[in-house]
Chain A
Amino acid sequence: DTAVSQTPKYLVTQMGNDKSIKCEQNLGHDTMYWYKQDSKKFLKIMFSYNNKELIINETVPNRFSPKSPDKAHLNLHINSLELGDSAVYFCASSPALSVHGYTFGSGTRLTVV
């Protein structure tokens, strides 16, 4: 059983398209996150949800919109994709506090052409 699963694993799309990445965790964690990893491996937090409530919203273009239908799911929708959105997007989850560390998904490699 995969603890944090993301789909799709790879996503190639044209500029201007709208796409979604899905994430599900079966760990019973309260908090879920989206991180972006750029080509230099730098990881930057984008969003955090706690029990379906938005907690962290870093400086991210409003073309990115997270949605959490329940505490086990956190999806990321991206409108009007740009070349600079190409990256690996990681979903993660943690118990109530981040002090316990995160469990990461295996990532979604988004390539915008």
Chain B
Amino acid sequence: AQSVTQLDSQVPVFEEAPVELRCNYSSSVSVYLFWYVQYPNQGLQLLLKYLSGSTLVKGINGFEAEFNKSQTSFHLRKPSVHISDTAEYFCAVSGGDDKIIFGKGTRLHILP
């Protein structure tokens, strides 16, 4: 079975500063990893995904994530955040079956 742990429930960061949202996973099989973003009162939107190949994955809106198998991590980063990045971010894992397991989410607060 797969599981996901998002280590921070909230992350405050000043506008134009860099940010890292942490995610650790556990799985007994090969994993496929995702980051989703949920803006207030909206559905979830796929930011990026790791299926195989290069461990550095680039997504939309300037976000990127690095898959680290030895540390079982898939942290999300952005070099400079904007007020519009205020949202809930979900890390998720799939073992290749029909189910994606989501973490509990990290709320990103952008401070002016």
Per-residue interface assignment for chain B, residues 28 to 60, with 1 indicating a CB less than 8 Å from any chain A CB and 0 otherwise: 000010101010001111100101000000000
Interface bracket on B: 20 to 34
Q: Which residues of chain A are within 8 angstroms of B107 by Cβ–Cβ distance?
A: 41
Interface residues of chain A, those whose CB is within 8 Å of chain B, are 4, 31, 35, 40-45, 48, 50, 55-56, 90, 92, 97-107
Per-residue interface assignment for chain B, residues 69 to 88, with 1 indicating a CB less than 8 Å from any chain A CB and 0 otherwise: 00000000000000000001
Q: Of A31, A40, A99, A102, which is in contact with the most chain B CB atoms at under 10 Å from its CB?
A: A99
CA A38 to CA B107, docked complex, whole Å: 15
Interface residues of chain B, those whose CB is within 8 Å of chain A, are 32, 34, 36, 38, 42-46, 49, 51, 88, 90, 94, 96-102, 104-105, 107
Q: Which residues of chain A are within 8 angstroms of B96 by Cβ–Cβ distance?
A: 97-99
Q: How far is the CB of B47 from chain A (nearest CB, A)?
A: 10
Chain A residue nearest to B96 (CB atoms) is: A99
CA A105 to CA B107, docked complex, whole Å: 20
Are A98 and B94 touching (Cβ within 8 A)? yes
Q: Which residues of chain A are within 8 angstroms of B49 by Cβ–Cβ distance?
A: 100-101
CA A25 to CA B100, docked complex, whole Å: 18
